[in-house]
Amino acid sequence: MFNSSGFKGSPSFIVRRQAKQNLFSVEKLRNEKYKKKYKTIKRQVRELIFENAALCDQIAQFQESTLLLIDERNFLFKKLQQYHPIPDPEVFRTNSIHNNHHDLLSKKAVLKKRTERTVSDSSTNDSTKMSKHPKKPQVARKKKIVKAIPLDSCGKPIFPISLGDFTVHSLGEVCEKPEYHTEDLIFPVGYCSTRVYGSLKDPEKQCMYTCKVMDGGLGPKFEIVADTDLDVPIVSTSIDSCHSMLLSLINRCLGMEIVNTKGRGADFFGISHPTIHHLIQASPGVRKCKGYVWTKFEVNPTYEYTPDDEASLSYSALLRSISFSKSHMDPGIKDEPPSGEYHEDHTAALRSLLMS
């Protein structure tokens, strides 16, 4: 008998076809569900990306406004110091502590005098002998961290040594004369470094300054030469005075007091930098420098220095100070000489603004 189950019109074929259609419809509904979820997640991710970008832009604006406020505060503080010097906040804190504990210290002094009176004659004689040869107080020095620099096969540093804003080309030779070193620093003869800073002709344009330590006989001579004015070197027997003369010329060229003229020659030359200080201390002849106090160093290969962001040392900080002064200074009072005849209420208001 012929089996009709294989024909298209047979019931079994219809059942199988309906089952396939139902399975396909279920998979289609499931795929549609996942597609909707995918589109929703994709839309949310896109919105989060845009929100993150907007927050980054807002943070950048806040950081820029914060830097401007810091520069404005420093500028106003320096201007105020020219007319009415303000003591250091640390002085206020020290004075308050001194006043709070004045009674306690006076009581301790009275008790100390009473105990000294009860000391026997023999102990008094011993203390007198001890006082004839007092020991020098030991100066507590903080250990400085230095970064490892490349050395040659003989263990000597490879020049030039680039350290941020300045580059050292030669360490020179240590001189044992007392004028060629202090307790903290050594000024080797022949030391040479270069630094990028504002030009003497146009401080808004950068130029290369060469800093040298030369033999001046009894004492060292310090020289700063700009590559734009090679025939006009700045020479002085004091490293801070040499740097101060450079800053004064910068202010004279600008026509206003932009940078503080207090010299920081050791920082400008790079001699006080921990890495250079460490190399100079390791040079031959340092042990003959009787007035120098040795500094402890610790080598850390991963240590990164924070550059000094002072307008007297950094070219970028100098540009910020110049642009800030031009945008905030009133042209009518730029050349006004300091008179000191200011109202007390104005001074108090400025002081409270700056010290807050």
Whether 45 is covered by a domain: the verdict is yes
pTM, two decimal places: 0.58
Q: Are β-strands 229-236 and 220-226 bridged in parallel, bridged antiparallel, or unpaired? A: antiparallel
Same domain, 158 and 277: yes
d(CA 74, CA 315): 17
246 and 150 in a single domain? The answer is yes
Of 67, 90, 112, which residue constitutes the final position of a domain? 67
Q: How many C-beta atoms surround the C-beta of residue 86 within 10 A?
A: 15
Task: Report residue 312 as tokens.
Answer: 């007297």
Domain count, the chain: 2
Residue 253 has a pLDDT of 93
* Predicted pLDDT at 131: 46
pLDDT number for residue 348: 59
Neighbours of 262 (CB within 10 A): 10
The domain of 29 spans 9-67
Domain stops at, among 33, 49, 67? 67
Measured at the CA of 182, the angle between CA 180 and CA 184, to 5 degrees, comes to: 130
Residue 330 lies in a domain: no
- Residue 344 has a pLDDT of 55
In angstroms, the CA 259 to CA 250 distance is 8
Report the alpha-carbon distance of residue 235 to residue 254 in Å, rounded: 22
Q: Which residues contact 163 (CB under 8 A, 6 or more apart)?
A: 270, 273, 275, 276, 305
Residues 179 and 282 in one domain: yes
What is the chain's pLDDT, residue by residue, as a tens digit (356 residues)? Answer: 444 455 556 777 777 777 777 777 778 788 888 888 898 999 999 999 999 999 999 999 899 889 888 888 887 877 676 666 554 444 444 444 445 545 555 655 655 555 555 544 445 455 444 444 454 455 556 788 898 888 888 888 999 999 989 999 999 999 999 999 999 999 999 999 999 999 999 999 999 999 999 999 999 999 999 998 899 899 999 999 999 999 999 999 999 888 999 999 999 999 999 999 999 999 999 999 999 999 999 988 888 888 888 999 999 999 999 998 888 765 544 444 444 444 455 555 555 555 55
**Is the sign of the CA dihedral 322, 326, 330, 332 positive or negative?**
positive
Residues 149 and 271 in one domain: yes
Long-range CB pairs of 327-332, under 8 A, 24+ apart, other chains included? 328/72, 328/75, 329/256
Whether residue 123 lies inside any domain: the answer is: no
Domain-embedded: residue 44:
yes
